[in-house]
């Protein structure tokens, strides 16, 4: 594990710890963040800690064509309860991801510095959000980074049952239409596994990045 300085460099991903920690420190400049994502690295840390950079093995991913939609969820998609948009409320999605209560998680990694950094990436056209609305209110959504034909998912939230799934499924279908070949889900969750995500070896993940970035 290496401490980063001002140089825009990361150590080889093979040097990551068993848990997946690659490096500590550095900054959240747009240049460093984009370099990290292009190399399969992402920041994830708690408020009050230094920045921690991760590249876990194996890696949790979703191939868009492998998206699973249950019959009950297809009914939700069709019944008109929610409305879907893209990039209509990026900042609000981040704020909701920051404040939503999650089981088995204390605090949030979405600090003011993270909000500022990803908002800047959004302004540059690299960070995107997908939203679910109900009766004019934002009730679910997700955000992440798009580089080439890869989408790097960061976080999602839901204030209504199935709202985040609604946004996620619609967005994955849109990404598939745009020829996105890979969605990085980073670490395992039962929620995303139920939608078709699976673990692959880090080496294969990095090969797919090189092919699709």
Which of 58, 76, 92 terminates a domain? The answer is: 58
Q: Cα 156–117–23 angle (5° rounding)?
A: 90
Which of 25, 58, 91 terminates a domain? The answer is: 58
Q: Measured between alpha carbons, how far is 103 from 120 in angstroms, rounded to an integer? A: 29
The reply to whether 6 falls in a domain is yes
Q: Measured between alpha carbons, how far is 85 from 66 in angstroms, rounded to an integer? A: 22
- Nearest CA-CA partner of 119 in 82, 93, 156: 93
- Please indicate, yes or no, whether residues 64 and 128 belong to a single structural domain of this protein: yes
Which has the higher per-residue pLDDT, 106 or 88? Answer: 88
E-strand ranges in 55-173 read: 59-62, 83-86, 127-134, 137-147, 150-158
The tokens of 140 are what? 């679910």
The reply to whether 206 falls in a domain is no
Q: Whole domain around residue 111: which residue ranges?
A: 60-199
Residue 104 has pLDDT above 80, yes or no: no
Average pLDDT on 126-153 reads: 98
Instruction: Kindly report the number of other CB atoms within 10 A of residue 18's CB atom.
Output: 7
Note the pLDDT of residue 108. 61
- Please indicate, yes or no, whether residues 26 and 7 belong to a single structural domain of this protein: yes
pLDDT tens column, 72-99: 999 999 999 999 999 999 999 999 999 8
CA 47 to chain centre: 18
pTM for the model: 0.94
- Please indicate, yes or no, whether residues 35 and 117 belong to a single structural domain of this protein: no
- Please indicate, yes or no, whether residues 49 and 85 belong to a single structural domain of this protein: no
Which has the higher per-residue pLDDT, 136 or 46? Answer: 136
The reply to whether 151 falls in a domain is yes
pLDDT tens column, 140-150: 999 999 999 99
Note the pLDDT of residue 1. 79
- Please indicate, yes or no, whether residues 115 and 192 belong to a single structural domain of this protein: yes
- Please indicate, yes or no, whether residues 128 and 69 belong to a single structural domain of this protein: yes
Note the pLDDT of residue 107. 44
Note the pLDDT of residue 101. 59
What is the percentage of the chain residues whose pLDDT exceeds 90? 92
- Please indicate, yes or no, whether residues 115 and 191 belong to a single structural domain of this protein: yes
Note the pLDDT of residue 106. 44
The reply to whether 209 falls in a domain is no
- Please indicate, yes or no, whether residues 139 and 180 belong to a single structural domain of this protein: yes
- Please indicate, yes or no, whether residues 85 and 7 belong to a single structural domain of this protein: no
CATH number at residue 36: 3.30.70.3550
The reply to whether 18 falls in a domain is yes
- Please indicate, yes or no, whether residues 182 and 117 belong to a single structural domain of this protein: yes
What is the percentage of the chain residues whose pLDDT exceeds 70? 96
Whole-number average pLDDT of the chain: 94
The reply to whether 205 falls in a domain is no
């Amino acid at each position: 594990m290496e401490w980063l300085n001002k140089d825009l460099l990361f150590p080889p991903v093979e040097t990551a710890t068993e848990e997946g920690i690659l490096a500590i420190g550095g900054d959240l400049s747009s240049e460093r963040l984009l370099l990290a994502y292009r190399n399969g690295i992402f920041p994830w840390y708690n408020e009050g800690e230094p920045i921690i950079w991760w590249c876990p093995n194996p890696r949790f991913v979703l191939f868009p064509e492998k998206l699973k939609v249950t019959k009950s969820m297809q009914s939700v998609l069709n019944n008109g309860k929610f409305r879907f948009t893209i990039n209509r409320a990026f900042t609000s999605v981040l704020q909701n991801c920051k404040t939503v209560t999650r089981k088995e998680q204390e605090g949030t990694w979405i600090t003011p510095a993270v909000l500022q950094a990803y908002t800047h990436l959004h302004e540059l056209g690299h960070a995107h959000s997908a939203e679910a609305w109900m009766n004019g209110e934002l009730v679910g959504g997700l955000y992440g980074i798009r580089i080439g034909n890869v989408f790097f998912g960061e976080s999602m939230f839901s204030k209504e049952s199935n709202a985040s799934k609604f946004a996620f499924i619609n967005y994955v279908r849109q990404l598939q239409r745009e020829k996105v070949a890979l969605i990085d889900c980073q670490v395992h969750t039962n929620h995303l596994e139920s939608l078709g995500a699976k673990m692959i070896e880090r080496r294969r993940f990095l090969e797919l990045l090189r092919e699709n970035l």
